[in-house]
Amino acid sequence: MVVYVDLIFLTNLCIDGALIGLTAWMRKTKLVWWRWLLSAIVGALYVVMMFVPEFDFMFTFLIKFGLSLVMLSIAFGFKGLQAFMRTLGTFYVINFVAAGGILGVHYMLQSSGELFNGIWFTASGGMSFDLKIAFWFTFVVFFAVLFLFKAVQSSKRKTDRMTTYLGKVEVFIDDVTISCTGLLDTGNQLTDPLSRMPVMVMEVSLWQDMLPAAWKGRLKDEAPDNLIMELDQEDFHWQDRLRLVPYRGINKGTAFMLAMKPDRVKVTMDEMCYETTKVLIGLDGGVLSSDGKYQAVIHPELVQDAASAQSTAISAGATEKPLNVV
């Protein structure tokens, strides 16, 4: 059998470098390039030593574990025991995910005959497995598994970040209450130019039962002023609450959004409840979130104004809550 040591060294250099890099990404730590490279070289040299019979004593659990400590110390340094242990745990989790992914893909692609050919019985009656995985298969699947793992983690981080901006929205008009999940959009500056009230956008489907039947399915494609003109022939008891709010969309000219004036709106975020009457509800004919995580876009003023009022009251030693904070 011919063993190409240089190829094995370069392969393990790439693998160790990828493991260290993904560990840094998971821990949100910036790597110094020479420490990163040196750590990967140490790991690659250890694998090369397995072909030297005099170094067979090094392939024990304690030596392997010690080598991982050395690699992480070189790459990340030692900034405290707690931080180092978290980095070590992240490093091993990524290793186990990669190894498990390679084995999983390997057995998934095997036929039943190939699988049983790799099983044999020992003299004592026990059962053992003969695992043979091609070099290039391991190399390709390793990076595929790491790429998939990073993609899943990125999606999870995005979801976690979005969750911090989600809140419960309750809109009250007469005896009707509409509840949904809203997303706080800190860049939303949509306001009514006449009243200067902030506009919170909601999906029109939440209000479908309260709106005129002739409007169903038309708000997305038809101008809202045309719909309002038709109200002469409709019995809509909230007609005096309707507003037309001008806005400018991306790569579009000025358009109008149909909005309603509620009695009050209550937003609950991070166990804080904000209530206000100075707000308009803009009706969007489409779907605000493709995965259905939220059905409303919360204007930042609904939270900022209430939070500022609460902070002022606390600093002044007030014993009562401000009117727009519950």
CA-closest candidate to residue 246, choices 191, 301, 202: 191
CB 267 within 8 A of CB 182: yes
The three-class DSSP label of residue 254 is strand
Predicted pLDDT at 293: 84
Q: What is the dihedral of CA 157, 162, 164, 170, to 10 degrees?
A: -160
- Pairing mode, strands 176-184 and 296-298: parallel
DSSP, residue by residue, 99-134: HHHHHHHHHHH--HHHHHHTEEE-TTS-EEE-----
pLDDT at 59: 73
Q: What is the per-residue pLDDT for 251?
A: 59
**What average pLDDT is seen over the chain?**
77
Q: Cα separation of 200 and 152, whole Å? A: 32
Which has more pLDDT, 102 or 319? Answer: 102
**Angle at alpha carbon of residue 157, lines to 106 and 143, rounded to 5°:** 25
Residue 319 pLDDT > 50: no
pLDDT at res. 312? 38
* pTM of the shown model: 0.53
Amino acid type, 233: Q
Gap between the Cα atoms of 282 and 294, Å rounded: 15
pLDDT tens digits for range 34-82: 998 998 898 888 877 777 767 666 777 888 888 889 989 998 888 888 8
Say how far apart CA 270 and CA 164 lie, in whole Å.
8
Structure tokens at 186: 């800190």
Q: Active site includes 185?
A: yes
Helix, coil or strand: residue 272: strand
pLDDT tens per residue, range 19-38: 898 888 888 888 889 998 99
Confidence of residue 310 (pLDDT cuts 50, 70, 90): very low
- pLDDT for 94-141, tens place per residue? 888 887 777 777 677 666 555 445 544 444 445 455 555 555 667 677
Q: What are the phi and psi torsion angles at 182 (to 5°)?
A: -120, 150
Q: Which residues contact 89 (CB under 8 A, 6 or more apart)?
A: none
pLDDT, one tens digit per residue, over 140-190 is: 777 788 888 888 777 777 766 655 688 899 999 999 999 999 988 877 888
Q: Name the range with the highest mean pLDDT among 12-21, 136-145, 257-266.
A: 257-266
Residues in the chain: 326
- Whole-angstrom distance, CA of residue 7 vs CA of residue 46: 14
Q: Is 317 left (phi over 0), alpha (psi -120 to 50) or beta?
A: left
- Per-residue pLDDT band for 309 (boundaries 50, 70, 90) equals very low
Predicted pLDDT of residue 264: 92
Among 46-55, 139-148, 286-295, 312-321, the range with the most confident prediction by mean pLDDT is 286-295
Residue/partner pairs of 171-175 with CB below 8 Å, 24 or more apart:
171/202, 171/262, 171/265, 171/281, 172/262, 172/263, 172/264, 172/265, 172/266, 173/210, 173/238, 173/241, 173/260, 173/262, 173/263, 174/263
What average pLDDT does range 242-251 have in this prediction? 78
Smallest Cα–Cα separation from 167: which of 183, 179, 155? Answer: 183
In the set 130, 174, 185, 209, the catalytic residue is 185
